[in-house]
Amino acid sequence: MTVALPSRRTRRAAPDEPLDLTEHGIHRDPVNHDPLGSATFSQRLVHRASGLFSKGTTRRSFLTRTAVLGSALAVGPIDFILKPGSAYAYTCGTCSDGWTAFCCTINSGRNSCPPNSFVAGWWKADNAAYCCGAARYIIDCNATCPTQCACRCAGGSCDGRRTCCNQFRYGQCHTEIACYGPVVCRVATCTPPWRYDPSCTTSSATDNKTTNHGAPCLTTDCGTPIDKKYKALGGASGFLGKVVAAEKANSDGRGRVARYEGGNIYWTSTTGAHEVHGALLTEFGKQAGVNGVLKYPTSDTLTTSDEQARYSNFENGRIYYRGTAGTFTVPKPYFAKHESVGGVHGILGYPTSAVTTSSDKKSRYQNYTGGRIYVQGSRVVEIHGAVFTEHEAVQGVHGPLGYPISDLSSAGDNRGKGQWFEKGFIWYAPTVGAHGLWGKINDRHLANGNVKGYVRYPTSRPTPVGDGRGTYATFERGNIYASTTTDGFQVHGAVLKAYLETYGGPTGQLGYPLSELDPAGTSGGRFQRFENGKLHYISDTNVQLVT
């Protein structure tokens, strides 16, 4: 019900004609001066409202109708209190109580200043249920000059208060605007006004008579960020269920936590409020919660894009839950490394273990479906795929290669990749697979230009010759031999063919190589020296033994 008051055009003339009183410091819109005249507003209003129901009003019938109207409005709060979602009790208002309506009542449900009005001032009311016991702020939206609205009743069923009638200004906001019209409506908020509108100053005014003023369209804005998160997640009827332990400050002096039947909500000023529940919360607890390595959650529970897992983000890592596959924490710095190689959708895939200390106590590592991350001091290295398999095949960090000291990286030949270990390399190319090299054989391979040298990629790891002395590894274009008494040397081409097929290899009459084949153009011919003789390379089909 909206009841319009008499327009300014119809009100009586002197002594209430508009006056410009600006020079006196009176800045209310002069054209809106005393719009109600000297008549009793509430009586005229209620009379007019009651008159809508019937004609031929007598004084007795007027009073009766007034009482009926007042009664109808008075029961409003009970109705609204019982409605789900109205967690706070509030006082309804009538057009005759002298107060201004809330903006949501007259602004299409929006709890904000409507067009042709501006944030002009504010006051607070202490201990407001609307704000869960905190102070509530009421912000006045005054009409801009010239006033574009007329004094009337807002017509809300529980907020029937006035709009555009009270030409009063609290004055803390937009002091650069002097002229003001009547208060169009009021914004209710639990946010301090200077944060709501930076034009407002922090000079506070208090009026506790308005603490419980409300309207059906005002849902409570109360509570801490944790309260709001809890409500946003459905409150007691949501998955968190009932409160188990009320919100309290954490012992770190930084954050706060509230515990519920189905999970917890954590808050800090930098992370905001986020829930953690279910298996993720159990795992978070194992990690000492916010006092552990992960610190505070930075997200609610999320689902991976492949829908294989649920996870929660934290300041220092992430927890993944994959049903029977387990729930695992990926803490910093594992998390950063994991993310840098594509996270769960990348080469490492999902975590499959907790962070574990290696048996030699020199590192900590975490397994993933596609590999592992090692952390040694500040060094964080991932190893994955065929390289990881090769490393594991040679006893991993406890074997001849030791720990990885770099990630797998391109060999620079547009073919393959290499990963550097404490005591060797693993080289990988799609056509040959991954093979580790270490010791004297690795030294020679590196000295000869590694995979960009003559022999290219290894096709085997170093293998015992079987004589108790030496090892060798095969490559795409040759072999490298080494022994306990000789360094590593590569043998390739026609020389290798003769060495193996004619002279029995390292266990034959020549023994282990003692040099590389002389380069092409060497004066006097090209020779390769062995322990018991040398081979003279004449051509690809002619290699002669020289003793």
Partner 1 sequence: MKLQSHGIETDLPAGWEGRIGLRTQPSADARAPGEVSAIGDAGERPNPVVHLANFALPEQRGDFGSGAVDLMGADDVLVVLFEYGPECAGTPLFKRTGIPTDLTPNMFSSSALQRTISGQAGCQIFFTENGRAFCSYTVLGRQSNALRVVPQANAALSRTRIAPR
Site residues (vs partner 1, CB under 8 A): 15-16, 19, 21, 23-28, 32-38, 40-43, 97-99, 123-124, 126-127, 131, 133-135, 151, 162, 165-172, 175-178, 182, 190, 192, 194, 201-210, 224-225, 249, 255-256, 267, 269
- Closest distance to partner 1 from the beta carbon of 300 (Å): 19
Q: How far is the CB of 179 from partner 1 (least distance, A)?
A: 9
Strand partners, 162: 100, 153
Compute the least distance from the CB of residue 269 to partner 1, in Å.
5
Nearer to partner 1, 126 or 467 (CB): 126
Q: Given the complex with partner 1, which of 268 and 367 has the nearer CB atom? A: 268
87 vs 177 by CB, closer to partner 1: 177
Q: Give the shortest CB-140-to-partner 1 separation in angstroms.
A: 9
State the DSSP string of 73-96. Answer: HHTHHHHHHHSTT--S--B-B-GG
What are the b/e assignments for 252-283, b being 16+ CB within 10 Å?
eeebbbbbbebbbbbbbeebbbbbbbbebbeb
Residue the block writes with tokens 């409605």:
83
Is the CB of 24 or the CB of 60 nearer to partner 1?
24
Specify the DSSP element, H or E, that contains 45. Answer: helix 41-51
Under a CB-based contact definition with an 8 Å cutoff, are residues 148 and 180 in contact?
no
* Distance from C-alpha of 470 to C-alpha of 481, rounded to nearest angstrom: 7
Work out how close the CB of 231 gets to partner 1 at its nearest, in angstroms, rounded to a whole number: 16
Do 180 and 33 contact (CB within 8 A), yes or no? no
Cis peptide before 458 (omega within 30 of 0): no
Spatial strand order of the sheet with 417-421 comes to 409-410, 417-421, 424-429, 433-438
CB of 199 to partner 1, least distance (A): 11
Residue (176 or 306) nearer to partner 1, CB = 176
Closest distance between partner 1 and the C-beta of residue 27, in Å? 6
Q: Could you tell me the smallest distance in angstroms from the CB atom of residue 215 to partner 1?
A: 16
CB-nearer residue toward partner 1: 158 or 200: 200
Q: What is the dihedral of CA 210, 215, 217, 220, to 10 degrees?
A: 50
Q: Cβ closer to partner 1: 189 or 312? A: 189
Tokens for 490, please give them. Answer: 């590569």
Cβ closest to partner 1, residue 48 vs residue 415: 48
- Where does residue 45 rank: exposed (0-12), middle (13-18), buried (19+ CB within 10 A)? buried
Nearer to partner 1, 45 or 429 (CB): 45
Q: Which residues lie below 8 Å from residue 94, measured CB to CB, with a gap of 6+?
A: 46, 69, 70, 73, 160, 161
Shortest Cβ 452–partner 1 spacing (Å):
59
